[in-house]
Amino acid sequence: MMHPDLVRSAAEIEPELIALRRALHAAPEPGLHLPQTQAMLLAALAGLDLEITTGETVSSITVVIRGALPGPVVLLRADMDGLPVDERTGVPFASTNGAMHACGHDLHMSIMVGTVRLLAARRDRLAGTVLVVFQPGEEGHDGALAMIAEGVLLAGGELPKRTYALHVFSDRAHGQFFCKPGPIMAAVDELDVTVMGRGGHGAKPHTTIDPIPVALEIATALQVYVARRVDPFDPVVLTVGELAAGTARHVVPDVAYLRAGLRTFSTETREQLGEGLQALSRGIAAAHGASATTRFVSSDPTTQNDPAAAAEVREVVEGLLGAERFVPLERPETVGEDYSQFLAHVRGAMFFVGAAPAGASPGELPSNHSSLAVFDDGVVADAAAVLAQLALSAAGR
């Protein structure tokens, strides 16, 4: 059942949510330990008569909202951490501490505080329990895994039936909601290769085993492997972002290093690359009389939306805000997201919210993670209403 009053109630608290967002934006904290951010959120949640606990090993917050009617547990998640980026937006509430909420997590937190307030005021209509998770360390610090290890999935008394999360984008149209079934964000992995040759004088290269051309050949061969050994309808993004060797112009070094990042959308291709790229690197090194050690580090899996949950997102957005506010997403984003760790245990969906400044041309704007990324916090009220409706609908099913 739709609750159209959610939109009106969210609009009434919008000024407070925007004020909270701007205070959070001005004081970002990267990583797993965010004492100031945690304190600001706890203050914003004070007085709501809820079950609130904080993390033992990280600066997380878990809120349990128990409905008056029996039903399942639904998990909602918002991430908390900023990025080590010097902000250059020039907005009045810009950060000056050397970090920045360049990925919109300040909006995620303020949206979720609004969602908590909307749900807390409707406990008499809530069938089941809503488990709200404020998670630090999304930006490469395994914050989701840390919370799962602490037992957050059972904080509501049983494993959740559904989970939802959203992500704002500074370069998507203002106020539009986007979702798709299946993969919506990529798995992210890393490949490290160390090529060991034999150094010597640059004037006598025949007496050496130069690791530099070997590393260069490996860097090229990695791209050829993706182009010729992977199904072209199963996308892969491979970037060799680091290549280092040597300390002097006329000296052949002993060692060369390369570091690559991988983004994939299927388990099969991810596993194939993990084995194949390492074997390829070692084989090329051996062919040149050198040797190579390799390391493949798996990070977050693909963010995989359950088809039914993705359909529920569309149903709620169109039912609350109108059909024109929902845009079916044609293809996934190639960035990663550790919300995938929650989706590995609970069926659910992540959806996107366009937070480009109203009237701007989205394709011309700085994207998330840019020091110039500007997010319009005019989207927070509607997004809070959508999350609250998703929780109410899922709990009532």
Q: Are 197 and 210 in contact (CB under 8 A)?
A: yes
Q: Are 381 and 17 in contact (CB under 8 A)?
A: yes
Note the pLDDT of residue 368: 96
Note the pLDDT of residue 75: 98
Q: Are 47 and 140 in contact (CB under 8 A)?
A: no
C-alpha torsion sign, points 104, 260, 188, 222: positive
**CATH code at 186-298:** 3.30.70.360
Q: Are 350 and 337 in contact (CB under 8 A)?
A: yes
Note the pLDDT of residue 312: 97
pTM of structure: 0.93
In DSSP terms, 279 is beta-bridged to none
Sketch the domain layout of the chain as residue ranges. 5-181+306-396, 186-298
The Cβ of residue 377 has, within 10 Å, a number of other Cβ atoms equal to: 22
* Burial tier of 231 (Cβ tally within 10 Å: 0-12, 13-18, 19+): exposed
**CATH code at 5-181+306-396:** 3.40.630.10
Low-confidence ranges of the chain (pLDDT < 50): none
Note the pLDDT of residue 2: 86
Nearest Cα neighbor of 186 from 283, 92, 273 is: 273
Note the pLDDT of residue 76: 98
Helix (H, G, I), strand (E, B) or coil at 315: helix
Note the pLDDT of residue 386: 98
- Rounded CA-CA distance 144/340 in Å is 9
Q: Are 43 and 25 in contact (CB under 8 A)?
A: no
The rounded Cα 273 to chain-centroid distance in angstroms is 22
Note the pLDDT of residue 1: 82
- Under 8 Å CB-to-CB from 290, ≥6 apart: which residues? 195, 196, 197, 198, 209, 211, 214
- Rounded CA-CA distance 310/303 in Å is 12
Q: 5-181+306-396 with 186-298: one CATH topology?
A: no
Half-sphere exposure of 359 (CA within 13 A, CB side): 0
Instruction: Tell me the per-residue pLDDT of 339-392, one tens digit each, with 9 for 90 and over.
Output: 999 999 999 999 999 999 988 887 789 999 999 999 999 999 999 999 999 999
C-alpha torsion sign, points 177, 132, 139, 220: negative
Nearest Cα neighbor of 106 from 24, 164, 38 is: 24
SS3 content of the chain, % helix, strand, coil (to 5): 40, 30, 35
- Rounded CA-CA distance 156/51 in Å is 10
Note the pLDDT of residue 362: 79
Helix (H, G, I), strand (E, B) or coil at 92: coil
- Under 8 Å CB-to-CB from 21, ≥6 apart: which residues? 106, 107, 109, 110, 377, 380
Note the pLDDT of residue 359: 83
